[in-house]
Amino acid sequence: MHIMEGFLPSPWWQIWFLISAPFLAYGMYQLRQIYEERRETLPLLAVAGAFIFVLSSLKLPSVTGSCSHPTGTGLGAIVFGPFITSVLGLIVLIYQALFLAHGGLTTLGANVFSMGIAGPLLAYGIYRAGTKAGINPFVVVFLAASLADLFTYIITSLQLALAFPAEAGGIMTSFLAFGTVFAITQIPLAIIEGLIIALIFKYIIAVRPDLLVRLDVLSQTAVNRIREAIA
Amino acid sequence: MKYGLELIVTVVIIIFAALFLVQNAQIQATLGDDEEAWGGADGTAAEIIEASGYEPWFTPLWEPPSGEIESLFFSLQAAIGAIIIGYFFGYYRGKTQNA
């Protein structure tokens, strides 16, 4: 999903910076609140960030004959919400832009929006709606994380289509062309990402369910039920 | 099911790897001498854009000078993440067992 350095013309790269900025600002405000009021959850925050580091470094081959990588943002979005996750995404994207020439500083706004904001927002929405509807929490986590991964790549396709509409057919034709490159490659990887995040979620419930209860991710009754089922 | 989820993950990864092996065999059989399959989707998108005559207006400040050095930074990225995850899970697990 990395739009490469210099590959977004003016005014698009500025627009995506402007759209991403308020999310990042609110995320930093929330981070400060966590730092001051819920210090006991900081290790979990580190794990959520580290998870994005690991998953977004893995380039996996996919059915289309090309490689792409998962995003890993689902865990942060479910546990800490989309705003804090946007800051975590920003850190990873800066690392990759500086050391790997992967993505770029001028396209940072657009890449933060697709990976750090759009995907996590969807993951958070699915998780909240799914738990409210009483669906099995692991199924909900799987759906939230894998659809967020896919959605990130759909947004990247849209960002490129808006900046580079096809001469014949305009934005829609161009969106389909980029969507074929990104989204279809991503489907199997999204499934794997969803499963791995569901697995990590299970392990967090096994070691520190109290943190999830305190962060309002799961209710105490839900935790008890899950722990009974996997014991 | 205590290990139900682990089982599902293992099966899916095996299917994924098998699909890759089968497909790779097909692709390698039709590939020319200088061609290389399994490139990055990011690069493919960049090629589509460049084909329209677009020139990127900004270039990365620093680029890994070789594939080896690039993989060094990718491994470093994964290692940083993995050590943090492993540290805290180990810490929490040890704590629950002591309690």
Give the pLDDT score at A197. 97
Mutate to test the interface with B, among A66, A157, A173 (most CBs of B within 10 A): A66
Residue among A58, A67, A230 minimizing CB distance to B38: A67
- Is some CB atom of chain B closer than 8 A to the CB atom of A54? yes
Distance of CA B14 to the CA centre of its chain: 16
Lowest-pLDDT choice from A90-94, A110-114, B40-44, B78-82: B40-44
Give the pLDDT band (50/70/90) at residue A168. Answer: confident
Bridge partners, residue A60, by sequence: A68
Residue pair A68/A43 in contact (Cβ under 8 Å)? The answer is no
CB contact under 8 A, B2 and A207: no
Q: Is B32 a residue whose pLDDT tops 80?
A: no
- Is some CB atom of chain B closer than 8 A to the CB atom of A225? no
Bridge partners, residue A61, by sequence: A67
Region A138-145: mean pLDDT is: 97
CB contact under 8 A, B58 and A6: yes
The alpha-carbon gap from B92 to the nearest alpha carbon of chain A, in Å, equals 6
CB contact under 8 A, A95 and B82: no
User: CB neighbours of A66 closer than 8 A, spacing ≥ 6?
Assistant: A181, A185, B37, B38, B39, B40, B41, B44
Its ipTM equals 0.91
Region A37-63: mean pLDDT is: 94
Q: Tell if the pTM clears 0.90, that is, is over it.
A: yes
Q: Which of A132, A1, A4 is nearest to A73 (CA)?
A: A1
Q: Is A210 a residue whose pLDDT tops 90?
A: yes
